[in-house]
Structure 1
């Protein structure tokens, strides 16, 4: 997509890029951010949006994931390629960057999350581990060459230490010698020009044998190296020079190794910059509470509750559609301030989305791909070019007419302004007609009333206006599609106290037809306002009903599970009673037989009693079998599918099917970390749970818009509408499952309400063995309606 730099400035896209660059850690990532421009290919846009979604999902699971530790190393590599030598600190920068690249690659490729776009970036890099290890071995963390860098260096430094100690011992003997007390200015040892010296009084210079290296400012003190240590000092100096040459040799050797792997190191750094850039897009999305829009194959725009990302405070959201029922919107009405904001919002969000950035709008927003965005917004007057406002606008419009096609989005603010109203309106209609016939998507604002009739009579052109509150004399900034704007001049003048006589005279200058049109617009606005109010009421009621329905469904499932658990418990107890009865009956038979043997009674009577007890025993066994069959629910093997959720009546736990039932009626089920073979009579089908997401929360891949959960990672549980006891029981099971899946952070949705449920849940979390810490949600996470838990 070719987008003019003037258009970027007019839409404030450059300010968005500044914010994006502010989230980057590496200078190279900031360069990528500042050079970002919209793409004109749908696959490119889709991939760029998917990258942002992956980054957000990754940060939800691991908020500390970043390229921190990597450094700007491009100048260092260039110096190595020119044969230069790196300092120890610069070599540590190379080492830290390689280490960061290796860890990022390992984390992305071996992590549990699906991040295909991020993985593709790091898959092709191969940070040289040998250089990283060699720098770590040779350079200390303090930024100096370590003793173990080479055997020679270690020996030189040991020699330096020994010689320094010998010199100090000799000098200590001199300063402690009483014969030198009156000669020395102070009994101390110091250094001058890297030589060890003692301070000698000027008048005793001839009495003290040695080499003068310095004197005090007053000349009263001479710093003399005694002859007794001169040879040792010379030897020390030679060893120090050897040590310095060895250090330089090691640095040169390490720099040569960096030069030899410069390409691989540069590739690793570039990959880190790309990852850093994607994470910056994710952070920007999070900070603006944004998400990815749906992409359309057509040149269309549907923005739902869209907000200009640079406006602060209470922002009235924008709802606008273009490219389905109509291709051109003419926004009429007085200069109230809302029309230009609407133009800038549409243009900026379109440019952001086509650049792979999430936009602050609701989930069902949809955008097409435009090959060009043309903008004529603001005062185009130019003193340098001797252009009036009208001439400046017309110069832009001439460029637009020359370059626009059916894949262009055109935003025109106050088209035809700055000249005679009649001619300006005619020119505006002609320009819009030309661009409209080419198939462009156009949003134009004007205060010319003639364009209202033009929009009404032209196919696929729609009127619109920005609502104005005549009571407060302020715009509401709510865009009304299908309703042309009106002046409200007479009403505003009256509210501000203009004389009635003047107003009536003014009305007499307006034709009857114009007054009828104004009254018609009033009626249309009132009707539209009523429709919008009723629509919002219906939407709110529908949301309430959906919430209540979801809560009732959850309660119904919970009651069903409780019932099944109670039923299973009762069946277990009944079975135990039946077993005990059978056992007692068998004992009774044995006792009876023994007693009759001893008393030599009639064997026929014994057999008759035994048969009666046997019938009782058979009846018990039959009843037990019926209970077991009824408990199993009568599941047919054909009903079982791989991955299906089953309820194990004996264990009172849920599990997932790993293998289909065998011929003997056993199915392999995974419960937590256990795999069990269970009879079909001991399981029943359950409905899969669905965890609802909070309205403002963002989940795997798409933020608040078009978002989906991370596969195999369940990060949220919705407990709204439950009692505290019921909620804590559900939460306890959920935390067990979350720990088994390896989740780091989970979000508990309890709503704001009275705060009783939140308090009960947080009291429960304080003593839970799986919980490391917890906090209330921040802005964009659900605020007081969500508790964020960090698991151990």
Structure 2
């Protein structure tokens, strides 16, 4: 295991996170644990540490009765009484009592949760299970100490009670005698009329003017700073004060004896007490990390087995905090290192966020493997790395006579020597610092070595040769920082799957560099470079289109899967109903059979009693035949027809599920074909728009035909029956194969996809599931009371997605009032959903703050 370089934490900013968490600790011992928390690749230990922090985060968020405050490190004074004859001072005993009270509260809380049966905090419960609550020790401290004053009680022992009674009596005598002497001295004019009895060095004295101090017999204990006042202990109370001093010494000896006896009582329990003290420090440490996680909205991602990374909506915690102070939002990061694409090469404009992406990935991975939760979405997935390497910033050294590029080369040498397929390498501005041709060639050779070794990495660069190498490499994926070309500003958003452009000419124009210089520079780089930049922008446009389409398909598949699950549940309900119906039918048949037997017996008895009278015999037989037909018909209706209906329903459900799977497979195949067409389109040499071409407006679906060109920049286009002149820059060519497919789909749908300017031209078969039936079954209120935060957010996400798909403009979420934590989590999630217009409290008469009303843009 290796972390390189030694100042890795300072380079990614983890030292500042340690400082922030230390401030949240209640004890110095917990702060020491924060400083000592180290990077580890032990998956079992890491899963336990992260799980404890995640559980504590839920406790702080959901449990209003959690007693986790006022932590004390009781071990710092408990260790001193390991030696025989030592004892705790009353102030230390007071701290011990507070610590044991907190310990009792924590053990009662977690054991109570475990006793309820469904333990929501198993890891913290397991950590608490072996800890004692020391109720006997707490009772003994309460017997000895007064909780209000923190002093030893009079009744802590009979001897102490007697000593203090005598002390009070003697003090009263001394005070009474001193008051009499003071009054006499005031009457004689030796002492000021407003003088009062004072205490010096533990002796009671009266203040006397210095000129009169020899007129009062006694001991001078002190003088004022000016020398005008002397503090005299009259000779008449010296002996009484001596007796008081002796009684105070006896009191102190008795208190020490009581405290020593208490320490002797604790000493056999000391190992358990010290273990409980370590538990409190650890809980203080875990709670500080959990409080920090709550502050930055951090989560426990899914832990993967191998060294990989899939961050969703990840945020750099230090950058987010800084931007929040400025009132600016942070742009979340989506990033993936997979077993197939294990190196991400990020390119894009300067100040576009490349280094932030790299630092975010490194910081979050380091936080995770030090036991911290990470600020990202809960569906993020992070693996375990054995080693981390970083090469970032200017590491020029005057002491070692190293240039910036030399220091980069030393870092590359170290990385190539030690990095393997379980290492994460972070390199910023790969190959920079020297002549571009040479630096780019060396960087490409190093990149090739890293790829061959399957080293995981996030690398930023401006070099075109590295982008081209990554495009053809098997284990490397290009990534680009998005750029708003229209407003000439970076968007700070990472887009996977394509290389980025520096947009140097566009930025130069915005800054105001003379146009002549810019045109000269464009001519110098040649058409090849310009075409490359153009291809990059076209690839970016295509990628955004396919990503949006894939997201729509993902939502559709998600809803289809939910519908399938509902069908599965309905099928199980039907099976249960079938079993119930059959049981009822059998019971009914048995009842009818018993009745039939009674009818037969009655018929036979009537025939015998009538002595075979023909008319009565015929009537009895007729009644019996009618009853038999009734039984046969009842059985037919109740069993045969019911079973046929059930079988038909089950057969319909199975056929519907088979059709759904077939359509899903067909869509996946079509999407793969379309993506293949898109890739081939990117590689084709771009064509100029000519008359006869089929085109459409960028961002629109309607297809038209170019009738003629108007100069060099405009074209006359017919969209159905509408003819208009459009800038060529706003048009994109529709390949002939795609045009035929659109025309074929339009004809199949029975509508003219090309007949209206700007129409969507969408396929009539985009929705292949029964929306109307789901709308009838959809309830516009979701009840999440009593759920844990993670479970509740999953329900809210599915609920809101379903409402958007089904077109409901308003829904309500019932979360209750409680502490408000669950409501805050729901509101925070709703703010991230683009189609949520507002989320506010319900009217007071309908539930108020316990219900959130969500309005949707559908």
1:520 deviates by 2.0
Listed as ranges, the matches of 1:708-787 within 5 Å are 747=823, 758-760=841-843, 762-765=844-847
8 Å CA contact 2:205–2:232 kept in 1: the answer is yes
State the partner residue of 2:139: 133
- Of 346, 364, 371, the match for 2:379: 364
8 Å CA contact 1:215–1:221 kept in 2: the answer is yes
1:267 deviates by 0.9
* Higher RCO (C-alpha under 8 Å, 6+ residues apart): 1
- Of 119, 127, 131, the match for 2:125: 119
TM-score (norm 2): 0.64
8 Å CA contact 1:290–1:358 kept in 2: the answer is yes
State the partner residue of 2:325: none
For residues 73 and 467 of structure 1, the distance between their equivalents in structure 2, rounded to whole angstroms, comes to 54
1:319 deviates by 1.5
Deviations 1:722-752 (CA, angstroms, capped at 9, x unpaired): xxxx999x96xx97xx99xxx9986496989
1:176 deviates by 4.7
Equivalent residue of 1:3, what SS?
strand
For residues 717 and 539 of structure 1, the distance between their equivalents in structure 2, rounded to whole angstroms, comes to 15
8 Å CA contact 2:72–2:280 kept in 1: the answer is no
1:191 deviates by 3.4
1:197 deviates by 3.6
- Of 359, 369, 375, the match for 1:344: 359
Equivalent residue of 1:443, what SS?
strand
State the partner residue of 1:578: none
Deviations 1:220-261 (CA, angstroms, capped at 9, x unpaired): 665444444343333222212211222233333334444543
Matched, 1:156 2:163: yes
For residues 692 and 343 of structure 1, the distance between their equivalents in structure 2, rounded to whole angstroms, comes to 40
1:157 deviates by 0.8
Give the gaps of 5 or more residues in structure 1.
558-629, 635-686, 710-715, 767-773, 777-781, 787-792
Equivalent residue of 1:341, what SS?
helix
Equivalent residue of 2:537, what SS?
helix
Aligned residues: 620
Q: 1:361 to 1:213 in 2, by over 3 A?
A: closer
Give the gaps of 5 or more residues in structure 2.
321-327, 571-637, 643-776, 805-809
Matched, 1:100 2:183: no
Equivalent residue of 2:88, what SS?
coil
Equivalent residue of 1:510, what SS?
helix
Matched, 1:89 2:91: yes
Listed as ranges, the matches of 1:348-747 within 5 Å are 348-532=363-547, 700=788, 747=823
Q: 1:136 to 1:507 in 2, by over 3 A?
A: same
Equivalent residue of 1:28, what SS?
helix
8 Å CA contact 1:331–1:463 kept in 2: the answer is yes
1:109 deviates by 1.0
Deviations 1:133-191 (CA, angstroms, capped at 9, x unpaired): 22222222322222122211111111011111122233344445699544544474333
For residues 704 and 383 of structure 1, the distance between their equivalents in structure 2, rounded to whole angstroms, comes to 57
Q: 1:121 to 1:689 in 2, by over 3 A?
A: farther
For residues 517 and 448 of structure 1, the distance between their equivalents in structure 2, rounded to whole angstroms, comes to 13
1:527 deviates by 2.2
State the partner residue of 2:76: 75
Equivalent residue of 2:318, what SS?
coil
Q: 1:217 to 1:271 in 2, by over 3 A?
A: closer
Q: 1:246 to 1:317 in 2, by over 3 A?
A: same
For residues 278 and 688 of structure 1, the distance between their equivalents in structure 2, rounded to whole angstroms, comes to 42
Equivalent residue of 1:386, what SS?
coil
State the partner residue of 1:295: 303
Q: 1:21 to 1:431 in 2, by over 3 A?
A: same
State the partner residue of 2:275: 267
For residues 239 and 198 of structure 1, the distance between their equivalents in structure 2, rounded to whole angstroms, comes to 22
8 Å CA contact 1:466–1:475 kept in 2: the answer is yes
C-alpha root-mean-square deviation of aligned residues, in Å? 4.4
State the partner residue of 1:47: 48
Equivalent residue of 2:358, what SS?
helix
8 Å CA contact 1:465–1:481 kept in 2: the answer is yes
For residues 277 and 785 of structure 1, the distance between their equivalents in structure 2, rounded to whole angstroms, comes to 38
Q: Identify, as 1 or 2, the structure richer in helix.
A: 2
Higher alpha-carbon deviation: 392-401 or 496-505? 496-505
1:89 deviates by 0.8
For residues 703 and 402 of structure 1, the distance between their equivalents in structure 2, rounded to whole angstroms, comes to 46
Equivalent residue of 2:389, what SS?
strand
Matched, 1:310 2:311: no
- Of 286, 293, 296, the match for 1:285: 293
State the partner residue of 1:332: 347
Q: 1:371 to 1:690 in 2, by over 3 A?
A: farther
Matched, 1:238 2:223: no
TM-score (norm 1): 0.69
1:431 deviates by 1.0
Q: 1:35 to 1:506 in 2, by over 3 A?
A: same
Q: 1:402 to 1:245 in 2, by over 3 A?
A: same
For residues 434 and 140 of structure 1, the distance between their equivalents in structure 2, rounded to whole angstroms, comes to 73
Equivalent residue of 1:450, what SS?
helix
Equivalent residue of 2:329, what SS?
coil
Q: 1:468 to 1:178 in 2, by over 3 A?
A: closer
For residues 745 and 304 of structure 1, the distance between their equivalents in structure 2, rounded to whole angstroms, comes to 23
8 Å CA contact 2:331–2:492 kept in 1: the answer is yes
Q: 1:22 to 1:229 in 2, by over 3 A?
A: closer
Q: 1:70 to 1:137 in 2, by over 3 A?
A: farther
For residues 98 and 16 of structure 1, the distance between their equivalents in structure 2, rounded to whole angstroms, comes to 31
1:427 deviates by 1.0
8 Å CA contact 1:98–1:128 kept in 2: the answer is yes
1:67 deviates by 3.7
Equivalent residue of 2:483, what SS?
strand
Higher alpha-carbon deviation: 497-506 or 335-344? 497-506
For residues 410 and 690 of structure 1, the distance between their equivalents in structure 2, rounded to whole angstroms, comes to 49
